[in-house]
Amino acid sequence: MRSSLALRLIASAGMASALFAQEAAKSVENEPLAGHARQFLQARVFELGLDASHDFALKSVHQDDLGEDHIRVDQFFQGVKVFGGEAIVHMRNGEVRDTTDALVRDIRLNPMPTLAASEALAVANEALAPNGPYATDPTAELVFAKIQREARVERNQAWADEDGGAALAPRAISARPTRMALVYHVHTELENGGDETRHTDYLIDAHSGEVLQMWDTLHTTAATGTGKSQYSGTVSLSTNSITGGYELRDNVRSMQFTTRNLNHATSGTGSIYTDADNTWGDSANYVEGSSTTAANGQTAGVDAHFGTMKTFDMYKNVFGRNGINGAGKATYNRVHYSNSYDNAFWSDSCFCMTYGDGSSFKTLTAIDVAGHEMTHGVTANSAGLNYSGESGGLNESMSDIFGTMTEFYAKGGGTTSIPTSGGNWTIGEQLASTPLRYMYKPSLDGASRDAWSSSLGGLDVHYSSGPMNRCFYFLSQGSSSSSSSNFYSSYLPGGMTGIGNTAAAKILYRALTVYMTSTTNYASAKTACLNAATDLYGATSAQHTAVTNAFKAINR
């Protein structure tokens, strides 16, 4: 939600304010923006009904193409971070314009834990029971968090979709009340091939050691020179000349990146792809068990490299974003992960994208998949949407949306806009005989929802993404007034006119990077999109009206 109230930074500053000043100095590249951050610290002008036990630490500073600065802060209570507690300070010309409030109130707990962090890590390890080594050392952070109380869970419950049909949902969970608790937030990463590739987070009671919540945080596609690519035809690749040949290294884009061959390993960075004549791949699906360095093995690298090039170009040329973190931080692709691995994923720890060769699917390097995975990185470095509940569905939807926009951009010949031709409105349709997901009517996959309901947050995030995917389709392409159409919504029976890919994508991008926080749900996503439409096109614009109608069409 937006707030006109002021968030007051405590005069005593303390640990969090010191962190803010330190991080502000590190994260800004020009003196005017640094001045904005310092002025924000010194002014202490915000007041959101919190007491003197609360402090704030800088999370990030972002300057957008409208000339506004957006300063994200994390909330602390008695020196302990509040999980999901955030505010975004929106500044124009050095003055506070507005705030986005996702702060947590009414915390009345002692910040001293009974358990040590090492004990919480041991609890998580016992719960996870890994068969192989961790890809990176597990972490444990002491936080205050809202914990959902137990509620009745109905599995394999049939639900009626908005058009009167029925689909089988994986599970339905009724709305659950919450309580505050002092917990350790533990993050683990296992990357040991198809049998054990999991990123799992836990909230563990800091007194009893009980596992209060756990969720999967593997950001996947969901199961799921001259390059002769498998999915995009013959393409031009940005490569690097080395002694004796070339390597898949892009030195042209500010976000310099490489594409590497894991050769069926499940850890490490692999070896950068090299080639003697700068002609890569054979356009064919990888033959499991064959060489990963020969032309057939190079093809996965071609598609991953090309996909990263085009995803970067779209973010840069359409939205003005310099790479995944907005500051051009280098990244890399890893292909030929494990054996016959049916997925692709983003990892915050390595700041990289990883692709399997597939068994049920073809090699998972299609252009919309590449855009999907890189967008998980963009989301992690902007709103940071939690990968569970409604925010998790929105996280997946952002990747589906901008993965789809990458496909339209790449195949439609986009430059500074996103064409309406060349792409399609399904996800991963090149990987198998049927798509993974359908943007225009998500329930066609047999599990995703077409519209919001109170039980949406209990679904797997790849299914709770459905309503937002459909909302974006309607926003861009419009909806039908014919009840027999796949593009019809009973919540908006008269239909609507879309605003096109470019305007719709700009609204979603601004909503994601400027107004959404880690706990944004569908209701606050609507507010974020309306705020973004107002900023870009005005509160009385056709684009603003289209946002309202698109969310109405998914029951929000």
Q: Give catalytic residue positions.
A: 373, 462
Distances, alpha carbon 513 to alpha carbons 73, 140, 468, 507, in Å: 14, 27, 16, 10
Write phi, then psi, for 406 (nearest 5 degrees).
-65, -40
CA distance 546 to 218: 33
Structure tokens at 136: 């990176």
Position 176: which residue type? R
Q: Is the dihedral of CA 439, 441, 447, 453 positive or negative?
A: positive
- Beta-carbon contacts of 408 under 8 Å, excluding residues fewer than 6 positions away, are 414, 418, 419, 420, 421, 422, 423, 501
Q: Which of 71, 51, 83 is nearest to 147 (CA)?
A: 83
Tokens of 217: 């945080």
Number of neighbours of residue 507 by Cβ within 10 angstroms: 29
**Residues 333, 304 contacting (CB under 8 angstroms):** yes
Contacts of 486 (CB under 8 A, 6+ apart): 440, 441, 444
CB of 484 closer than 8 Å to CB of 353: no
C-alpha to C-alpha distance for 186 and 519, rounded to whole angstroms: 18
Please tell me the distance from the alpha carbon of residue 498 to that of residue 293, in angstroms, as a whole number.
46
Query: What is residue 227's DSSP assignment?
Result: E
Strands 257-261 and 331-337, sheet pairing: parallel
CB 158 within 8 A of CB 125: no
Structure tokens at 21: 């000043």
The DSSP-derived string for 11-30 is TT-HHHHHHHHHHHHHH--S
